Each structure stands twice: as C-alpha cells, then as structure tokens.
Structure 1
Amino acid sequence: MAKHDRTAVTLAGCWSHVRRKFYELHAAGSSTIASQTVMHMALLWASRRPSAARTRQRIAARQEKSAAILVALFKLWEKELPKASGKSKPAEAIRYALGRRAALERFLVDGRIELDSNAVECAIRPQTITRKNSLFAGSDGGGRTWATIATLLATAKMNQVDPHAWLTQTLERIANGWPNSDIDALMPWNYQS
C-alpha cells in the first residue's frame, strides 16, 4: 500500500448523503428507482468492516464486496437517468450521485476513508449545537483558536482517546521541548498513555 501524504487533501464522498435523497423518495413510495437504490445501498453498509481494520485487508474486502455493489448502482443510475423527467426528484438524486462518482468510489482504494461521514457529523454536533454560545471568541483569531481546540478534542474522541488525558500529555510534552519535526507523534491517533 502506498504511503499517504497527510498534507494532501482528497475529497471523499458520503454515501449517507446520497442515500438520503433516494430514501425520501422510497419512503414516500414515489419512485421504483429510489427503492431499488435503497436496497442496493443497504448491501454497502452490511458489507463494511469495522473502522479499526485500516489495513490492506479492509481494502481487499471492499474490492471484493463493495466494488460490485457500486458497479451495479452506477449502471442502474446511468440506465434510468435518460428515462426520468429532467426536473424530477429521482433525476435530481441520480445526477447528485453520478456527479460525485469519483469521490464516492474513493473509499474502495483508501482504507482510511469511511463509507459515510456519520462519525464526523456526530463528533461535531456538540460544537454545532453550541455555536451561539461560542460567540465569546470576540475576534477572528479567537474564533480560529476555538475551532482548532474543538477540532483537536473531537479528533481525540473519534480515535477513542480521552481528550483530557491526551491534551494534558501533549501540552506537557510541548512545554518540555518536544521537537517540531516529530509533531505527528503528538496527534490523537498516535496517543499512548
């Protein structure tokens, strides 16, 4: 597996966002294509491996199980889009998915990428809910500082690390002269108590 550049930003699509557009139509019973899509997508979630398995095996399992599901979905959408009325909700949902194909397929080749962004959305929900209470920042710089701290704490939680213990250890190490060249070792995913 190739080493990934941690500074490079790569867009990954969220299958939950795609599913939501089809699910609303399916639940309303207004679209056969939406119902077929929802059934195919259920197989994606059923076949995924636990997020702790970020290895070659995770990618191999995705290639073995999820890749075929994606091929079937995209074929279905490409076949059905010309049949749908251009401004209809099913056509809109299909175009949304087709327009994001590369980003949606990215999880097949990168074991770090999840099928959906649900974990991230759950992690930022407390910050989003308390956004109005965060107006105390007082300046753009204060806002950026608050956002940085909130991001670091949420990242610790996403990596099943106690944010207080991680932050305490990290700040102590920095205060004791931790080298800038080894800053990656301080990140929550590398934390060791």
Structure 2
Amino acid sequence: MRDEFPHGGARPLAAVFFALPNRRGERPLAHLAGFSGVPVADGYAGFNGHYEKAQPGGPLTEAACWAHVRRKIFDVHAATGSALAAEALARIGALHGIERELHGKPPDAHIRERQARAKPLATALKLWAERSLTQLPGRSELIKALRYMLARWSALTRAFDNGRITLDDTQPEQGDEQSMCAG
C-alpha cells in the first residue's frame, strides 16, 4: 500500500490485495520475496521468515501494528469493563491523537513530534503495562493482551524514529514503495 498524503507526498494512493486460500507462512514469503522496506503488520508468524534473514530484494524491518494491540485490549474492555483496559485504551488513544495532528505533514515533522510527544507517552505506557502485569491474574485476557504488546515493543515503537512509518495498518500512512501495510 502507498499513501503519501499523510506526510505531504504527491503520488496517488496505491493498494494491492492478495486473497490466499490459507495462512501458511510460505505465502507471504513468496509474495514479499523481492520487497525491501518496512512492513507494518500484526504478529502473524508467517512474516517471521522475512525478519530472520536477508531477502533477495533487500532487508525487511518489522514495524508492529498498534491497532492490533488496541483491538486485543478493547475486546477485554468490552467484555469486562476493566478499568486497567480502559486506561490502556486511553494511553494508546493519545498516541493516535498525535498522529491525527500530524496527518499531511512531512516525514521530518512526524519524527520531530513523535520524538517530543509520542515517544514519552509510549515509554510511560510500557512502564505502566509492566507494573499492571503484577496486578492481574496470570491467565487473564488483559495480561495476554499486555504481553502481546510488550513482546512487540521494539517493532511498535519503530515509527517514532521514521516519519514514513504509520502506527498501524488500518490507516495507511506510508509514503513510498519502501513501506507497506500487511496484516
């Protein structure tokens, strides 16, 4: 997917969708064999082969999707009304609020604002989540959602250092053929 508008680009929106009969890992490996860039995706294990080795088209750098993290937490909140889940949603919502303000600005503005405003909020979210893990029963759905988030932390925060990477794959904000959404 290509959408340059969120960071001031001029090229038209472009998207490709492949429908596949199953979720076996060799499908994305074959599809992305010549791709080099930053896929924004959920934690689907089928992509792991791309991140583990150099690809013929060049290296792939994983960027995890905040919308997938949010959805897991939202589902817990909808089912239980958990105050901890509500807090996590508010914290993630603040990150998306900053992104909405940045829509249409150039990549350097994204980096500058993300570093100044979003990165500290994300750091606080991580610390809060780590503390919250100690307050939850070991098998709760919220603890699973928070562990999902923490396990992907490096990939989730990659966008704070690159103005062309979006926070999630539900609202494309990539800017060139070197970026794509998947998941």
Please classify the TM superposition score into its range, dividing by the shorter chain length.
Answer: 0.5 to 0.7
Q: Secondary structure at the match of 1:83?
A: coil
Instruction: Please list, as runs of the form range in 1=range in 2, the aligned pairs for 1:33-112 lying within 5 A after superposition.
Output: 33-48=84-99, 49-50=102-103, 52-112=104-164
Q: 1:188 Cα deviation (Å)?
A: 11
Between the aligned partners of 2:80 and 2:137, the Cα distance in structure 1 is 17
Is residue 27 of structure 1 aligned with residue 103 of structure 2? no
* Unmatched runs of 5 consecutive residues or more in structure 2: 1-35, 38-57
Is residue 14 of structure 1 aligned with residue 86 of structure 2? no
Between the aligned partners of 1:74 and 1:25, the Cα distance in structure 2 is 18
Q: Flag the 1:188–1:35 CA change in 2: closer, same or farther, 3 A.
A: closer
4+ aligned runs moved over 6 Å, structure 1: none
Instruction: Give 1:107's aligned amino acid.
Output: A
Choose between structure 1 and 2: higher strand proportion. Answer: 2
Q: Flag the 1:188–1:59 CA change in 2: closer, same or farther, 3 A.
A: closer
Instruction: Give 2:60's aligned amino acid.
Output: V
Q: Flag the 1:30–1:119 CA change in 2: closer, same or farther, 3 A.
A: closer
Instruction: Give 1:97's aligned amino acid.
Output: M
Choose between structure 1 and 2: higher helix proportion. Answer: 1
Instruction: Give 1:104's aligned amino acid.
Output: L
Between the aligned partners of 2:80 and 2:140, the Cα distance in structure 1 is 14
Instruction: Please list, as runs of the form range in 1=range in 2, the aligned pairs for 1:146-165 lying within 5 A after superposition.
Output: none
User: Which has the bigger relative contact order, CA under 8 A and spacing at least 6?
Assistant: 2
Between the aligned partners of 1:93 and 1:54, the Cα distance in structure 2 is 33
In the other structure, the counterpart of 1:133 is none
- TM-score, L = length of structure 2: 0.60
Instruction: Give 1:109's aligned amino acid.
Output: D
Is residue 116 of structure 1 aligned with residue 163 of structure 2? no
RMSD of aligned C-alpha atoms? Answer: 2.5
Percent identity, please.
Answer: 31
